[in-house]
Structure 1
Amino acid sequence: MSNTSPLISADELNDLLGRSDVKVFDVRGTWSGTVEDAENAYNKGHIHGAVFLDWKTHFMEPDLAPNIAPVASQENATAAFAALGINPDDLVVLYDDYHHMMAGRIWWAMQYRGFTNVKILNGGWTHWQQKSFASSTDVPVPSKGTFVASENSDLIISLEDVIATKDASNLVDARGPVGYIGDPDDPKTGHIPGAVNLSFREVLDEASVLFKSDADIADVFNTQLSDFDDKPLITSCGSGYAATILLIALKQIGITAPLFDGSFAVWKQDDTRPIEQGA
Protein backbone atom coordinates (compact mmCIF):
# COMPACT_ATOMS: atom_id res chain seq x y z
CA MET A 1 0.00 0.00 0.00
CA SER A 2 1.50 3.31 -1.07
CA ASN A 3 1.50 5.98 1.62
CA THR A 4 0.79 8.60 -1.04
CA SER A 5 -2.07 6.76 -2.73
CA PRO A 6 -5.58 7.85 -1.76
CA LEU A 7 -6.74 4.26 -2.31
CA ILE A 8 -6.52 1.05 -0.33
CA SER A 9 -7.41 -2.33 -1.79
CA ALA A 10 -9.82 -4.79 -0.21
CA ASP A 11 -6.94 -7.22 0.34
CA GLU A 12 -4.84 -4.56 2.06
CA LEU A 13 -7.69 -3.48 4.32
CA ASN A 14 -8.58 -7.07 5.21
CA ASP A 15 -5.02 -7.56 6.47
CA LEU A 16 -5.30 -4.47 8.68
CA LEU A 17 -8.65 -5.13 10.34
CA GLY A 18 -8.50 -5.39 14.10
CA ARG A 19 -5.72 -2.86 14.58
CA SER A 20 -6.65 -0.16 17.09
CA ASP A 21 -5.14 2.58 14.92
CA VAL A 22 -7.15 1.64 11.82
CA LYS A 23 -10.57 3.29 11.80
CA VAL A 24 -13.04 2.16 9.13
CA PHE A 25 -16.18 4.12 8.31
CA ASP A 26 -19.27 3.10 6.36
CA VAL A 27 -20.43 6.14 4.36
CA ARG A 28 -23.17 4.49 2.36
CA GLY A 29 -26.12 6.55 1.16
CA THR A 30 -27.52 8.29 -1.90
CA TRP A 31 -28.89 11.71 -2.72
CA SER A 32 -32.45 10.38 -2.92
CA GLY A 33 -32.21 8.07 0.10
CA THR A 34 -32.68 8.91 3.75
CA VAL A 35 -30.24 8.58 6.62
CA GLU A 36 -32.46 5.79 7.91
CA ASP A 37 -32.04 3.91 4.62
CA ALA A 38 -28.26 4.12 4.88
CA GLU A 39 -28.19 3.16 8.54
CA ASN A 40 -30.49 0.20 7.88
CA ALA A 41 -28.11 -1.01 5.17
CA TYR A 42 -25.23 -0.66 7.64
CA ASN A 43 -27.11 -2.59 10.32
CA LYS A 44 -27.75 -5.47 7.91
CA GLY A 45 -24.03 -5.91 7.34
CA HIS A 46 -20.81 -3.94 7.11
CA ILE A 47 -17.06 -4.40 7.26
CA HIS A 48 -16.01 -5.72 10.66
CA GLY A 49 -15.28 -2.83 13.00
CA ALA A 50 -16.72 -0.18 10.68
CA VAL A 51 -18.57 2.72 12.26
CA PHE A 52 -21.55 4.28 10.48
CA LEU A 53 -20.78 7.82 9.29
CA ASP A 54 -23.73 9.99 8.30
CA TRP A 55 -22.45 12.09 5.39
CA LYS A 56 -25.38 14.49 5.84
CA THR A 57 -24.25 15.34 9.38
CA HIS A 58 -20.49 14.97 9.77
CA PHE A 59 -18.11 17.48 8.17
CA MET A 60 -20.96 19.65 6.89
CA GLU A 61 -22.24 22.93 8.25
CA PRO A 62 -25.68 22.44 9.84
CA ASP A 63 -29.08 23.94 9.04
CA LEU A 64 -28.60 24.09 5.26
CA ALA A 65 -29.65 21.73 2.48
CA PRO A 66 -26.83 19.26 1.68
CA ASN A 67 -26.46 20.55 -1.88
CA ILE A 68 -25.45 24.03 -0.68
CA ALA A 69 -24.11 23.31 2.82
CA PRO A 70 -20.39 24.13 2.92
CA VAL A 71 -17.72 21.96 4.49
CA ALA A 72 -17.69 22.07 8.28
CA SER A 73 -16.00 24.89 10.14
CA GLN A 74 -12.81 24.12 12.04
CA GLU A 75 -14.77 23.90 15.28
CA ASN A 76 -17.45 21.61 13.88
CA ALA A 77 -14.86 19.44 12.12
CA THR A 78 -12.97 18.99 15.40
CA ALA A 79 -16.23 17.91 17.00
CA ALA A 80 -16.79 15.39 14.17
CA PHE A 81 -13.30 13.93 14.55
CA ALA A 82 -13.94 13.59 18.30
CA ALA A 83 -17.34 11.94 17.85
CA LEU A 84 -15.91 9.45 15.37
CA GLY A 85 -12.98 8.52 17.59
CA ILE A 86 -10.26 9.73 15.22
CA ASN A 87 -6.79 10.37 16.65
CA PRO A 88 -3.75 12.02 15.03
CA ASP A 89 -1.87 8.77 14.33
CA ASP A 90 -4.82 6.78 12.99
CA LEU A 91 -5.32 5.43 9.49
CA VAL A 92 -8.88 6.19 8.36
CA VAL A 93 -10.53 4.11 5.63
CA LEU A 94 -13.83 5.19 4.06
CA TYR A 95 -16.19 3.21 1.85
CA ASP A 96 -19.63 3.47 0.28
CA ASP A 97 -21.64 1.76 -2.46
CA TYR A 98 -22.28 4.83 -4.61
CA HIS A 99 -19.28 5.20 -6.94
CA HIS A 100 -17.15 6.43 -3.99
CA MET A 101 -19.11 9.70 -4.07
CA MET A 102 -20.11 10.01 -0.41
CA ALA A 103 -16.87 8.49 0.85
CA GLY A 104 -15.02 10.82 -1.51
CA ARG A 105 -16.72 13.88 -0.07
CA ILE A 106 -15.71 12.89 3.47
CA TRP A 107 -12.18 12.02 2.24
CA TRP A 108 -11.84 15.53 0.81
CA ALA A 109 -13.39 17.19 3.89
CA MET A 110 -11.08 15.37 6.29
CA GLN A 111 -8.03 16.40 4.27
CA TYR A 112 -9.24 19.98 3.99
CA ARG A 113 -9.55 19.95 7.76
CA GLY A 114 -5.99 18.73 8.20
CA PHE A 115 -6.30 14.95 8.52
CA THR A 116 -4.20 13.44 5.73
CA ASN A 117 -3.91 9.73 6.56
CA VAL A 118 -7.28 8.88 5.04
CA LYS A 119 -7.94 6.44 2.20
CA ILE A 120 -10.81 5.26 0.04
CA LEU A 121 -11.56 1.55 -0.18
CA ASN A 122 -11.15 0.94 -3.91
CA GLY A 123 -14.38 -0.55 -5.24
CA GLY A 124 -16.23 0.15 -2.01
CA TRP A 125 -18.69 -2.17 -0.34
CA THR A 126 -19.60 -3.81 -3.64
CA HIS A 127 -16.05 -4.95 -4.30
CA TRP A 128 -15.61 -6.04 -0.68
CA GLN A 129 -18.57 -8.37 -1.09
CA GLN A 130 -17.32 -9.59 -4.47
CA LYS A 131 -14.09 -10.60 -2.74
CA SER A 132 -16.19 -12.60 -0.22
CA PHE A 133 -14.54 -10.94 2.75
CA ALA A 134 -16.37 -11.19 6.05
CA SER A 135 -19.08 -8.77 7.12
CA SER A 136 -20.47 -8.03 10.56
CA THR A 137 -23.61 -6.74 12.23
CA ASP A 138 -21.81 -5.62 15.38
CA VAL A 139 -22.11 -1.89 16.04
CA PRO A 140 -18.89 -0.56 17.60
CA VAL A 141 -19.06 2.58 19.75
CA PRO A 142 -16.03 4.82 19.18
CA SER A 143 -14.24 6.45 22.08
CA LYS A 144 -13.64 10.21 21.92
CA GLY A 145 -11.07 11.17 19.32
CA THR A 146 -8.31 13.72 19.88
CA PHE A 147 -7.56 15.05 16.40
CA VAL A 148 -7.86 18.84 16.19
CA ALA A 149 -8.96 20.22 12.83
CA SER A 150 -7.01 22.85 10.91
CA GLU A 151 -7.25 24.07 7.32
CA ASN A 152 -5.50 23.21 4.06
CA SER A 153 -6.56 26.13 1.88
CA ASP A 154 -4.95 24.57 -1.21
CA LEU A 155 -7.83 22.08 -1.40
CA ILE A 156 -10.66 24.59 -1.83
CA ILE A 157 -11.43 27.51 -4.11
CA SER A 158 -13.98 30.22 -3.41
CA LEU A 159 -16.71 31.42 -5.72
CA GLU A 160 -14.89 34.73 -6.10
CA ASP A 161 -11.67 32.99 -7.13
CA VAL A 162 -13.53 30.75 -9.57
CA ILE A 163 -14.97 33.83 -11.25
CA ALA A 164 -11.54 35.49 -11.36
CA THR A 165 -9.52 32.53 -12.63
CA LYS A 166 -11.82 30.16 -14.52
CA ASP A 167 -11.07 31.53 -17.98
CA ALA A 168 -7.36 30.81 -17.52
CA SER A 169 -7.94 27.41 -15.91
CA ASN A 170 -9.28 23.99 -16.76
CA LEU A 171 -12.61 24.19 -14.94
CA VAL A 172 -13.96 20.64 -14.86
CA ASP A 173 -17.59 19.66 -14.23
CA ALA A 174 -17.73 16.06 -12.98
CA ARG A 175 -21.45 15.49 -13.46
CA GLY A 176 -22.93 13.20 -16.05
CA PRO A 177 -23.88 14.68 -19.44
CA VAL A 178 -27.56 15.17 -18.55
CA GLY A 179 -26.83 17.44 -15.62
CA TYR A 180 -24.09 19.28 -17.48
CA ILE A 181 -26.16 19.89 -20.64
CA GLY A 182 -29.22 21.09 -18.75
CA ASP A 183 -32.90 21.35 -19.66
CA PRO A 184 -33.88 23.99 -22.25
CA ASP A 185 -37.15 24.49 -20.38
CA ASP A 186 -35.32 25.30 -17.12
CA PRO A 187 -32.88 28.23 -17.33
CA LYS A 188 -31.42 27.37 -13.92
CA THR A 189 -29.95 24.14 -15.29
CA GLY A 190 -26.76 23.64 -17.26
CA HIS A 191 -23.21 24.52 -16.28
CA ILE A 192 -20.79 27.31 -15.45
CA PRO A 193 -19.67 29.00 -18.69
CA GLY A 194 -16.38 27.56 -19.85
CA ALA A 195 -16.61 24.41 -17.74
CA VAL A 196 -15.56 21.18 -19.46
CA ASN A 197 -17.61 18.07 -18.83
CA LEU A 198 -15.50 15.18 -17.54
CA SER A 199 -17.87 12.79 -15.82
CA PHE A 200 -16.67 11.02 -12.68
CA ARG A 201 -17.55 7.75 -14.40
CA GLU A 202 -14.66 8.27 -16.83
CA VAL A 203 -12.10 7.42 -14.14
CA LEU A 204 -13.90 4.28 -12.93
CA ASP A 205 -14.13 0.83 -14.45
CA GLU A 206 -17.79 0.43 -15.35
CA ALA A 207 -18.10 -3.23 -14.33
CA SER A 208 -16.16 -3.29 -11.07
CA VAL A 209 -16.39 0.40 -10.01
CA LEU A 210 -12.68 0.16 -9.24
CA PHE A 211 -10.60 3.16 -10.20
CA LYS A 212 -8.85 2.77 -13.54
CA SER A 213 -5.09 2.29 -13.74
CA ASP A 214 -2.85 5.31 -13.27
CA ALA A 215 -2.00 5.31 -16.97
CA ASP A 216 -5.66 5.21 -17.98
CA ILE A 217 -6.55 7.98 -15.54
CA ALA A 218 -3.81 10.19 -16.95
CA ASP A 219 -5.03 9.43 -20.46
CA VAL A 220 -8.59 10.48 -19.55
CA PHE A 221 -7.45 13.89 -18.35
CA ASN A 222 -4.96 14.44 -21.16
CA THR A 223 -7.56 13.50 -23.79
CA GLN A 224 -10.42 15.60 -22.48
CA LEU A 225 -8.63 18.70 -21.21
CA SER A 226 -6.59 21.09 -23.32
CA ASP A 227 -3.23 22.05 -21.83
CA PHE A 228 -3.78 19.64 -18.95
CA ASP A 229 -0.13 19.84 -17.94
CA ASP A 230 0.06 23.64 -18.17
CA LYS A 231 -3.24 25.14 -17.01
CA PRO A 232 -4.38 25.26 -13.37
CA LEU A 233 -7.17 22.80 -12.63
CA ILE A 234 -10.43 23.51 -10.78
CA THR A 235 -12.89 20.71 -10.02
CA SER A 236 -16.63 21.21 -9.70
CA CYS A 237 -19.90 19.33 -10.14
CA GLY A 238 -23.47 19.84 -8.97
CA SER A 239 -22.79 20.39 -5.28
CA GLY A 240 -19.23 19.31 -4.44
CA TYR A 241 -19.58 15.52 -4.27
CA ALA A 242 -19.04 13.94 -7.70
CA ALA A 243 -15.97 16.13 -8.20
CA THR A 244 -14.26 14.45 -5.25
CA ILE A 245 -14.08 11.25 -7.33
CA LEU A 246 -11.97 13.16 -9.85
CA LEU A 247 -9.87 14.51 -6.99
CA ILE A 248 -9.18 10.95 -5.81
CA ALA A 249 -8.15 9.98 -9.35
CA LEU A 250 -5.93 13.04 -9.68
CA LYS A 251 -4.30 12.32 -6.32
CA GLN A 252 -3.62 8.78 -7.53
CA ILE A 253 -1.50 10.21 -10.37
CA GLY A 254 0.23 12.74 -8.13
CA ILE A 255 -1.88 15.85 -8.76
CA THR A 256 -3.60 18.00 -6.15
CA ALA A 257 -6.37 20.35 -7.27
CA PRO A 258 -8.94 22.48 -5.44
CA LEU A 259 -12.67 21.83 -5.17
CA PHE A 260 -15.25 24.53 -5.79
CA ASP A 261 -17.37 23.61 -2.78
CA GLY A 262 -21.05 23.92 -3.56
CA SER A 263 -20.19 24.07 -7.27
CA PHE A 264 -23.09 24.69 -9.67
CA ALA A 265 -25.64 24.77 -6.83
CA VAL A 266 -23.85 27.81 -5.42
CA TRP A 267 -23.15 29.36 -8.84
CA LYS A 268 -26.81 29.46 -9.84
CA GLN A 269 -27.95 31.12 -6.58
CA ASP A 270 -27.35 34.52 -8.15
CA ASP A 271 -29.60 35.21 -11.14
CA THR A 272 -27.05 37.64 -12.58
CA ARG A 273 -24.43 34.93 -13.09
CA PRO A 274 -24.57 33.42 -16.59
CA ILE A 275 -25.39 29.75 -17.22
CA GLU A 276 -24.55 27.77 -20.33
CA GLN A 277 -26.54 24.83 -21.70
CA GLY A 278 -25.67 22.16 -24.20
CA ALA A 279 -22.59 20.06 -24.80
Structure 2
Amino acid sequence: MTQLIDAPSLAAALAEQPTARIPLRVLDVRWKLGGPPGRDEYAAGHIPGAVYVDLDTELAGHGLPTDGRHPLPAVDDFRDAVRRWGLDDGDDVVVYDDASGTSAARAWWLLRHAGFESVRLLDGGLAAWRAAGGAIETEPTIPEPGTAAVAWGAMPTIDADAAAAFPESGVLLDARAGERFRGEVEPVDPRAGHIPGAVSAPTTGNLADDGTLLPADALADRFAALGVTPDAPVAVYCGSGVTAAHEILALEEAGFAAALYPGSFSAWSNDDDRPVATGA
Protein backbone atom coordinates (compact mmCIF):
# COMPACT_ATOMS: atom_id res chain seq x y z
CA MET A 1 0.00 0.00 0.00
CA THR A 2 1.31 3.44 -0.88
CA GLN A 3 2.34 5.72 1.96
CA LEU A 4 1.23 8.77 -0.06
CA ILE A 5 -1.96 10.65 -0.85
CA ASP A 6 -2.19 13.36 -3.50
CA ALA A 7 -3.94 16.68 -3.01
CA PRO A 8 -7.10 15.94 -5.06
CA SER A 9 -7.60 12.65 -3.23
CA LEU A 10 -7.21 14.37 0.13
CA ALA A 11 -9.73 17.04 -0.87
CA ALA A 12 -12.21 14.36 -1.91
CA ALA A 13 -11.69 12.43 1.32
CA LEU A 14 -12.25 15.55 3.41
CA ALA A 15 -15.44 16.33 1.50
CA GLU A 16 -16.72 12.83 2.32
CA GLN A 17 -15.99 13.11 6.05
CA PRO A 18 -19.53 13.90 7.23
CA THR A 19 -20.61 10.43 6.14
CA ALA A 20 -17.28 8.57 6.24
CA ARG A 21 -17.07 5.37 8.28
CA ILE A 22 -13.46 6.02 9.33
CA PRO A 23 -12.47 9.47 10.64
CA LEU A 24 -9.75 11.29 8.71
CA ARG A 25 -7.31 13.34 10.79
CA VAL A 26 -4.92 15.84 9.19
CA LEU A 27 -1.73 16.95 10.95
CA ASP A 28 0.31 20.04 10.01
CA VAL A 29 3.99 19.36 10.77
CA ARG A 30 5.72 22.47 9.48
CA TRP A 31 9.23 22.84 10.90
CA LYS A 32 12.61 24.29 10.00
CA LEU A 33 16.02 23.35 11.37
CA GLY A 34 16.98 26.05 13.86
CA GLY A 35 13.42 27.39 14.05
CA PRO A 36 11.30 29.28 14.55
CA PRO A 37 8.51 26.75 15.15
CA GLY A 38 5.93 26.48 12.37
CA ARG A 39 2.99 27.62 14.49
CA ASP A 40 2.99 31.11 12.93
CA GLU A 41 2.88 29.59 9.44
CA TYR A 42 0.03 27.34 10.58
CA ALA A 43 -1.86 30.36 11.93
CA ALA A 44 -1.37 32.18 8.63
CA GLY A 45 -3.11 29.39 6.72
CA HIS A 46 -3.52 25.63 6.84
CA ILE A 47 -5.59 22.81 5.37
CA PRO A 48 -9.09 22.94 6.87
CA GLY A 49 -9.35 20.83 10.00
CA ALA A 50 -5.60 20.29 10.30
CA VAL A 51 -4.12 20.18 13.80
CA TYR A 52 -0.71 21.76 14.36
CA VAL A 53 2.07 19.42 15.54
CA ASP A 54 5.30 20.82 17.03
CA LEU A 55 8.18 18.63 15.90
CA ASP A 56 10.66 19.79 18.54
CA THR A 57 8.35 19.30 21.53
CA GLU A 58 5.91 16.59 20.41
CA LEU A 59 7.88 14.45 17.96
CA ALA A 60 11.16 14.37 19.89
CA GLY A 61 12.47 13.86 23.37
CA HIS A 62 15.35 15.68 25.01
CA GLY A 63 18.44 14.23 26.63
CA LEU A 64 22.21 14.28 26.55
CA PRO A 65 24.11 15.38 23.42
CA THR A 66 25.02 11.72 22.90
CA ASP A 67 21.27 11.00 22.53
CA GLY A 68 21.13 13.28 19.47
CA ARG A 69 19.21 16.47 18.75
CA HIS A 70 15.87 14.72 18.22
CA PRO A 71 15.79 11.46 20.17
CA LEU A 72 12.54 9.54 20.11
CA PRO A 73 10.01 10.88 22.60
CA ALA A 74 9.09 8.77 25.60
CA VAL A 75 6.18 6.53 24.70
CA ASP A 76 3.92 8.08 27.37
CA ASP A 77 4.71 11.60 26.13
CA PHE A 78 3.90 10.60 22.57
CA ARG A 79 0.66 8.95 23.69
CA ASP A 80 -0.35 12.24 25.37
CA ALA A 81 0.50 14.18 22.19
CA VAL A 82 -1.44 11.78 19.97
CA ARG A 83 -4.48 12.18 22.18
CA ARG A 84 -4.12 15.98 22.15
CA TRP A 85 -4.29 15.79 18.36
CA GLY A 86 -7.64 14.04 18.72
CA LEU A 87 -6.55 10.64 17.44
CA ASP A 88 -8.39 7.43 18.24
CA ASP A 89 -7.42 3.87 17.38
CA GLY A 90 -8.24 3.08 13.76
CA ASP A 91 -8.24 6.67 12.52
CA ASP A 92 -6.97 7.44 9.03
CA VAL A 93 -4.16 10.01 9.38
CA VAL A 94 -2.61 12.35 6.80
CA VAL A 95 0.49 14.40 7.62
CA TYR A 96 1.92 17.32 5.64
CA ASP A 97 4.40 20.19 5.75
CA ASP A 98 5.79 22.84 3.40
CA ALA A 99 9.13 21.09 2.87
CA SER A 100 8.27 18.26 0.45
CA GLY A 101 7.43 15.96 3.35
CA THR A 102 10.90 15.97 4.91
CA SER A 103 9.61 17.04 8.33
CA ALA A 104 6.10 15.54 8.17
CA ALA A 105 7.66 12.13 7.53
CA ARG A 106 8.87 12.18 11.14
CA ALA A 107 5.22 12.13 12.25
CA TRP A 108 4.49 9.42 9.67
CA TRP A 109 7.30 7.25 11.05
CA LEU A 110 6.44 7.80 14.72
CA LEU A 111 2.75 7.06 14.19
CA ARG A 112 3.65 3.89 12.31
CA HIS A 113 6.11 2.99 15.07
CA ALA A 114 3.31 3.54 17.60
CA GLY A 115 1.00 1.08 15.86
CA PHE A 116 -1.13 3.26 13.57
CA GLU A 117 -1.74 1.31 10.38
CA SER A 118 -3.19 4.02 8.12
CA VAL A 119 -0.81 6.98 7.97
CA ARG A 120 -0.09 8.76 4.71
CA LEU A 121 2.03 11.70 3.65
CA LEU A 122 0.50 14.43 1.49
CA ASP A 123 2.63 14.16 -1.64
CA GLY A 124 4.10 17.57 -2.43
CA GLY A 125 2.87 19.05 0.83
CA LEU A 126 1.10 22.36 1.19
CA ALA A 127 2.43 23.59 -2.16
CA ALA A 128 0.65 20.73 -3.94
CA TRP A 129 -2.52 21.44 -1.97
CA ARG A 130 -2.48 25.11 -3.01
CA ALA A 131 -1.65 24.23 -6.62
CA ALA A 132 -4.69 21.94 -6.73
CA GLY A 133 -6.92 24.77 -5.54
CA GLY A 134 -7.34 23.40 -2.03
CA ALA A 135 -9.06 25.58 0.55
CA ILE A 136 -7.05 27.30 3.27
CA GLU A 137 -8.29 28.38 6.69
CA THR A 138 -6.67 30.40 9.46
CA GLU A 139 -8.83 29.43 12.44
CA PRO A 140 -6.91 26.90 14.58
CA THR A 141 -8.37 23.43 14.99
CA ILE A 142 -8.69 22.37 18.64
CA PRO A 143 -9.94 18.78 18.61
CA GLU A 144 -11.66 16.83 21.33
CA PRO A 145 -9.04 14.68 23.09
CA GLY A 146 -8.60 11.25 21.57
CA THR A 147 -8.22 7.87 23.22
CA ALA A 148 -5.62 6.15 21.00
CA ALA A 149 -3.36 3.52 22.50
CA VAL A 150 0.36 3.87 21.79
CA ALA A 151 3.09 1.22 22.02
CA TRP A 152 6.54 1.44 20.47
CA GLY A 153 8.01 -1.22 18.25
CA ALA A 154 6.19 -1.50 14.93
CA MET A 155 9.09 0.04 12.96
CA PRO A 156 12.68 -1.28 13.23
CA THR A 157 15.43 0.79 14.81
CA ILE A 158 19.15 0.38 15.41
CA ASP A 159 21.48 1.91 17.99
CA ALA A 160 25.02 3.28 17.58
CA ASP A 161 26.72 -0.10 18.02
CA ALA A 162 24.49 -1.61 15.35
CA ALA A 163 25.14 1.37 13.06
CA ALA A 164 28.89 0.85 13.46
CA ALA A 165 28.62 -2.79 12.40
CA PHE A 166 25.86 -2.36 9.83
CA PRO A 167 28.01 -1.84 6.70
CA GLU A 168 29.57 -5.27 7.25
CA SER A 169 26.33 -7.07 6.38
CA GLY A 170 23.96 -4.44 4.99
CA VAL A 171 23.62 -0.97 3.54
CA LEU A 172 23.73 2.07 5.84
CA LEU A 173 22.34 5.11 4.02
CA ASP A 174 23.15 8.70 5.04
CA ALA A 175 20.20 10.93 4.09
CA ARG A 176 21.97 14.27 4.63
CA ALA A 177 23.25 16.58 1.91
CA GLY A 178 26.33 15.30 0.12
CA GLU A 179 28.58 18.10 1.36
CA ARG A 180 27.79 17.19 4.96
CA PHE A 181 28.44 13.51 4.27
CA ARG A 182 31.81 14.36 2.73
CA GLY A 183 32.72 16.57 5.70
CA GLU A 184 33.04 19.75 3.65
CA VAL A 185 30.58 21.63 5.90
CA GLU A 186 28.87 20.91 9.20
CA PRO A 187 26.45 23.62 10.34
CA VAL A 188 25.10 22.05 13.53
CA ASP A 189 27.01 18.98 14.75
CA PRO A 190 30.40 18.98 16.53
CA ARG A 191 32.30 16.94 13.95
CA ALA A 192 32.05 16.83 10.17
CA GLY A 193 31.86 13.69 8.06
CA HIS A 194 29.92 10.43 8.23
CA ILE A 195 29.71 7.03 9.89
CA PRO A 196 32.44 4.84 8.37
CA GLY A 197 31.05 2.55 5.70
CA ALA A 198 27.86 4.57 5.14
CA VAL A 199 26.63 5.42 1.64
CA SER A 200 25.64 8.97 0.72
CA ALA A 201 21.96 9.07 -0.28
CA PRO A 202 20.59 12.62 0.13
CA THR A 203 16.85 12.46 0.66
CA THR A 204 16.41 15.31 -1.83
CA GLY A 205 17.39 12.80 -4.51
CA ASN A 206 14.06 11.06 -3.90
CA LEU A 207 12.10 14.12 -5.01
CA ALA A 208 10.90 15.41 -8.36
CA ASP A 209 11.30 19.08 -9.27
CA ASP A 210 7.83 19.90 -7.92
CA GLY A 211 8.60 18.43 -4.49
CA THR A 212 6.61 15.23 -4.94
CA LEU A 213 8.17 11.83 -4.42
CA LEU A 214 9.61 10.13 -7.50
CA PRO A 215 7.62 7.18 -8.90
CA ALA A 216 8.23 3.84 -7.20
CA ASP A 217 10.17 2.39 -10.12
CA ALA A 218 12.49 5.41 -10.26
CA LEU A 219 13.07 5.15 -6.50
CA ALA A 220 13.80 1.44 -6.84
CA ASP A 221 16.39 2.20 -9.53
CA ARG A 222 17.97 4.88 -7.37
CA PHE A 223 18.31 2.66 -4.33
CA ALA A 224 19.56 -0.25 -6.42
CA ALA A 225 22.33 2.00 -7.73
CA LEU A 226 23.26 2.74 -4.10
CA GLY A 227 23.62 -0.97 -3.36
CA VAL A 228 20.20 -1.69 -1.87
CA THR A 229 19.00 -5.20 -2.69
CA PRO A 230 16.14 -7.38 -1.46
CA ASP A 231 18.65 -9.70 0.22
CA ALA A 232 20.55 -7.22 2.41
CA PRO A 233 19.27 -5.27 5.42
CA VAL A 234 19.01 -1.49 5.09
CA ALA A 235 19.25 1.23 7.73
CA VAL A 236 19.10 5.02 7.45
CA TYR A 237 20.38 7.96 9.46
CA CYS A 238 20.58 11.71 8.91
CA GLY A 239 21.50 14.60 11.20
CA SER A 240 18.97 13.91 13.93
CA GLY A 241 16.53 11.27 12.68
CA VAL A 242 14.08 13.60 10.91
CA THR A 243 14.85 13.49 7.19
CA ALA A 244 15.94 9.86 7.58
CA ALA A 245 12.26 9.08 8.17
CA HIS A 246 11.50 10.55 4.75
CA GLU A 247 14.10 8.28 3.18
CA ILE A 248 12.55 5.27 4.93
CA LEU A 249 9.19 6.25 3.44
CA ALA A 250 10.79 6.47 -0.01
CA LEU A 251 12.36 3.05 0.50
CA GLU A 252 8.94 1.62 1.41
CA GLU A 253 7.49 3.08 -1.77
CA ALA A 254 10.31 1.35 -3.66
CA GLY A 255 9.58 -1.97 -1.98
CA PHE A 256 12.29 -2.03 0.71
CA ALA A 257 11.96 -2.10 4.50
CA ALA A 258 14.55 -0.07 6.40
CA ALA A 259 15.52 0.57 10.02
CA LEU A 260 16.07 4.01 11.53
CA TYR A 261 19.08 5.04 13.62
CA PRO A 262 17.19 7.60 15.75
CA GLY A 263 20.26 9.30 17.26
CA SER A 264 21.76 9.71 13.79
CA PHE A 265 24.92 11.75 13.20
CA SER A 266 24.13 14.27 15.94
CA ALA A 267 24.42 11.48 18.52
CA TRP A 268 27.32 9.75 16.76
CA SER A 269 29.46 12.90 16.40
CA ASN A 270 28.96 13.82 20.08
CA ASP A 271 30.59 10.55 21.14
CA ASP A 272 34.35 11.02 20.89
CA ASP A 273 34.85 7.26 20.90
CA ARG A 274 33.01 6.94 17.56
CA PRO A 275 35.18 7.32 14.45
CA VAL A 276 34.17 9.74 11.70
CA ALA A 277 35.04 9.34 8.03
CA THR A 278 35.29 12.11 5.42
CA GLY A 279 35.32 12.26 1.66
CA ALA A 280 33.12 10.55 -0.92
Q: TM-score, normalised by structure 1?
A: 0.91
CA distance in 1: counterparts of 2:196 and 2:120, whole angstroms: 33
Alignment match of 1:30 (pick from 32, 41, 64): 32
Report if the CA contact (8 A) 2:85-2:145 is conserved: yes
Write out per-residue CA displacement over residues 105-131 of structure 1, whole angstroms, 9 at most, x where no aligned residue: 111111112122111000000111111
Q: Which residue is equivalent to 1:13?
A: 10
Runs of 4+ in 1 over 3 A off after TM superposition: 62-67, 183-187
CA contact (8 A) 2:184 2:193 kept: yes
**Could you give the per-residue CA deviations for residues 81-114 of structure 1, whole angstroms, max 9, x where no partner exists?**
1111101121111000113111011111111121
Give the residue type in structure 1 aligned to 2:14.
Answer: L
Amino acid at match of 1:22: L
Match of 1:260? 261
Compute the RMSD of aligned alpha carbons: 2.0
2:225 and 2:115 map into 1 onto residues whose CA distance is: 32
Task: Label 1:29 to 1:154 Cα distance change in 2 as closer, same or farther (>3 A).
Answer: closer
Structure 2 unpaired stretches of 5+ = none
Amino acid at match of 1:14: A
- The residue number in structure 1 matching 2:140 is 139
Distance in 2 of aligned mates of 1:84 and 1:240: 22
- For the 8 Å contact 1:59–1:76, the answer to whether it is kept is no
Q: Give the 3 Å change call, closer, same or farther, for CA 158–187 of structure 1 in structure 2.
A: closer
SS in 1 for 2:245: helix
Distance 1:102 1:262 in 2: 16
1:1-279 correspondence to structure 2 within 5 Å: 4-17=1-14, 19=17, 21-35=23-37, 38-62=38-62, 67-152=68-153, 154-183=155-184, 188-205=191-208, 207-225=209-227, 228-279=229-280
Amino acid at match of 1:45: G
The structural deviation recorded for 1:24 is 0.5
**Equivalent residues, number:** 272
Alignment check: 8 A CA contact 1:184 1:277 kept: no
Q: What TM-score do the two structures reach when normalised by structure 2? A: 0.91
What is the deviation of 1:67? 4.9
* Between 70-79 and 193-202, the greater mean CA deviation after superposition: 70-79
Letter in 1 for 2:271: D
Contact 2:62 2:69 in 1 (8 A): no
Q: Whole-Å Cα distance in 1 between the matches of residues 62 and 185 of structure 2? A: 33
The one-letter amino acid of 1:41's match is E
CA contact (8 A) 2:190 2:270 kept: no
**Aligned 8 A contact 1:158 1:261 in 2:** yes
The 3-state SS of whatever aligns with 1:93 is strand
The sequence identity of aligned pairs, in percent, is 32
Question: How much has 1:178 moved relative to structure 2?
Answer: 1.2
Report the Cα distance in structure 2 between the residues aligned to 1:230 and 1:190, rounded to whole angstroms. 28
Structure 2 letter corresponding to 1:11: P
